[in-house]
Amino acid sequence: LSDEYLDAVQRFIERYSTEIGPYPYSIFSVVSSPIPTGFGMPTLTYLGEAVLHYPFIRDISLGHEVLHSWWGNGVRVDTSRGNWAEGLTTFMADYAYREDQGEQAAMRMRHGWLRDYAALAPGSERPLSAFHARHHTASAVIGYGKAAMMYYQLRSRLGKDAFMQGIRIFWAEHRGGTAGFDELRAAFEKAGRKDLTGFFEQWLDRTGAPELRIASARIPNAAGTELELELVQDARSNGAQPFSVSVPLRVRTGGSGLDVRIEMSALRKKATIATDARASSVQIDPAFEIWRKLLPGEMPPIFRDVIAAEVVEVVALEPKMQAGVAAFAKAFSEGKAVAVESGPEARALRPLIVAGSKSAIDRYLESLGRATRPEQIEKGSAEVWMAPDPGRQMVVIAIDPAVTNAEYLERLGRRLRHLGSYSWISITEQGTSRRGHWPTETPRVPITE
Ligand SMILES: [Zn+2]
């Protein structure tokens, strides 16, 4: 294990030295610690010994901690206007790892940030300038997710080369010292030759996010080579103050698509887009590239929806599964679990966990008029999924009766509690798992003639 870690540390140090500037220290140690946390300090990182064997710790968390040698330790953080280092480290380590994997993985991470933001309890949001360090989920959503998305948007705006040049300027000027968001902004302004005051003020000092929709979309000429549309920011979600955003749009024309950007800094914006063929539909930000409020259809069910519920109801379709499902619910859910009889859905608003053999599950879902087992799930001896269709939130556990005992189900519940961002999981007899998400698609607005 330690060889793998040494190799990985060396790769990270080489990567960041090339991207930013030479590694500021002569050694780096990884210390396994009984405390389950990653914690970066100059020249060493503590990683919980219980998690060291997970590949994502070596591939992602380790890179994050190594990068803190530059951001946070090499340049210390002046937090008077917020902590710039966590978001930048998340962007250049955790997110960069997904970008290396491909656009699908990168998009999923951006979508995850927006999804976490959408799940924030109303009133719990504070501006990024008030973020100092991670204390609770609400602060992490802003200090890591929103900040990382801010850097993503900044890079789109400046271009990759100017963005990376700004990073190197910032490092060269503040290495060994203390700096805040203002110094970081100045470095990007120098590299990008742009005034970024408004950009930083908007994302640092304000809460809220634009909620975008298309008020109208029509084709004005008979040739069908133009699309006229009006974009609107919902005034309720931004205190009637518009956000300045570069809104990506995907216009479908027959078989192909056209990606354009509309610069918007008012509550309403009209635009005319030239198309090579008649446009049939348009989507707002289909790849989740701006910090914004997601629409309901952009949040297909994931396990966390039920994990975080205050009360869940539990149904065992076979009497001998009762103890097992109760144990599952206790391990899986952060809230209270209440056993109920199957049958009519009395308190149908509460999320439900239902378990049974595969055939019993099929019959149960059919009796409710709900979608039956989605094809996408790979076959396993235990399959757990979030009901994909609208209606009551439901965790469905279809399990081979041969492997059903309370201990197995409790372990399954504990495992799934850490996989809250997924929509389904399938476990083989050997105990390995496959998991996935229901597809997320931004609504397509059809175009009237
Ligand atoms: Zn960190």
Q: Which class is 2-205 in CATH?
A: mainly alpha
Å from CA of 66 to ligand 1 middle: 9
Å from CA of 38 to ligand 1 middle: 8
Name the DSSP letter for residue 448.
B
Å from CA of 141 to ligand 1 middle: 13
Name the DSSP letter for residue 348.
T
Which position has the token pair 């055939």? 359
Q: What are the tokens at 183?
A: 């110094």
Contacts made by residues 380-383, CB under 8 angstroms, sequence distance 24+? 380/426, 380/427, 380/428, 380/433, 380/434, 381/427, 381/428, 381/429, 382/408, 382/412, 382/426, 382/427, 383/358, 383/424, 383/425, 383/426, 383/427
Stated as kind and residue range, the H or E segment containing 112 is helix 103-118
Å from CA of 112 to ligand 1 middle: 18
Å from CA of 120 to ligand 1 middle: 21
Å from CA of 154 to ligand 1 middle: 20
Rounded distance between C-alpha atoms, residue 142 and residue 131, angstroms: 7
CB of 430 closer than 8 Å to CB of 380: no
Rounded distance between C-alpha atoms, residue 415 and residue 326, angstroms: 15
Bridge partner list, 397: 355, 384
Length of the chain: 449
Topology, domain 212-295: Immunoglobulin-like (2.60.40)
Å from CA of 134 to ligand 1 middle: 9
Q: Which residues does the chain have with pLDDT short of 50? A: none
Rounded distance between C-alpha atoms, residue 382 and residue 426, angstroms: 6
Å from CA of 46 to ligand 1 middle: 12
Q: What is the dihedral of CA 336, 341, 345, 348, to 10 degrees?
A: 0
Q: What are the tokens at 361?
A: 């599950």
Closest CA to 339 of 359, 311, 381: 311
Q: What are the tokens at 290?
A: 């701006």
Domain 303-436 CATH (choose: 3.30.1360, 1.10.3470, 3.30.450, 3.30.379): 3.30.379
Q: What is the dihedral of CA 105, 111, 112, 117, to 10 degrees?
A: 160
Handedness of CA 29, 30, 36, 40 (dihedral sign): positive
Å from CA of 121 to ligand 1 middle: 24
Give me the sheet containing 424-427, strands edge to edge.
Answer: 336-339, 311-316, 352-356, 394-399, 382-386, 424-427, 433-436
Give me the pLDDT at residue 196, please: 98
Rounded distance between C-alpha atoms, residue 106 and residue 97, angstroms: 8
CB of 399 closer than 8 Å to CB of 328: no
Domain layout of the chain by residue ranges: 2-205, 212-295, 303-436
Give me the pLDDT at residue 443, please: 87
Domains 2-205 and 212-295 share a fold: no
Rounded distance between C-alpha atoms, residue 170 and residue 184, angstroms: 6
Å from CA of 85 to ligand 1 middle: 8
Give me the pLDDT at residue 82, please: 94
Å from CA of 10 to ligand 1 middle: 19
Å from CA of 39 to ligand 1 middle: 7
Å from CA of 86 to ligand 1 middle: 5
Å from CA of 21 to ligand 1 middle: 19
ipTM over the 0.90 cut-off: yes
Give me the pLDDT at residue 183, please: 98
Å from CA of 67 to ligand 1 middle: 8
Å from CA of 80 to ligand 1 middle: 18
Å from CA of 293 to ligand 1 middle: 25
Give me the pLDDT at residue 34, please: 57
Å from CA of 64 to ligand 1 middle: 6
Å from CA of 267 to ligand 1 middle: 36
Rounded distance between C-alpha atoms, residue 352 and residue 338, angstroms: 9
Å from CA of 126 to ligand 1 middle: 19
CB of 395 closer than 8 Å to CB of 351: yes
Å from CA of 82 to ligand 1 middle: 14
Give me the pLDDT at residue 31, please: 65
Rounded distance between C-alpha atoms, residue 154 and residue 148, angstroms: 10
Å from CA of 306 to ligand 1 middle: 28
Å from CA of 351 to ligand 1 middle: 34
Å from CA of 93 to ligand 1 middle: 10
Q: What are the tokens at 177?
A: 């010292």
